[in-house]
Amino acid sequence: MLEEGSTRLALAANSKDFNYVGTAELLVTTANAKLSVLKAQLLDN
C-alpha cells in the first residue's frame, strides 16, 4: 500500500497530473497508520 501510494505520488509529480495526489495521500496515510499500529503491538510484546 505504501509502495503504491509512493508510485502514484511520483506519477502525479512527473506528469503534472494532480488527480493522483488525493489517492496517493490516502494510500500513504493509511499505510503509515497501519505501521504505527504494528509498531505499538511489537513494543507491547
Assigned C-alpha cell, 2: 505504501
| Residue with grid cell 494510500, as numbered in its chain | 27
Phi, psi (rounded to 5 degrees) for 10? -65, -40
Q: Helices marked H in 1-45 — which ranges?
A: 2-15, 19-44
Indicate the pTM of the whole model. Answer: 0.68
Distances in whole angstroms, Cα of residue 10 to Cα of each of 31, 38, 39? 17, 26, 27
pLDDT the model gives residue 39: 95
Number of domain units in the chain: 1
pLDDT the model gives residue 5: 80
List the domain range (segments joined by +) for residue 34.
2-44
1-45 pLDDT, tens per residue? Answer: 778 888 888 888 888 877 778 888 888 899 999 999 999 999 998
pLDDT the model gives residue 20: 76
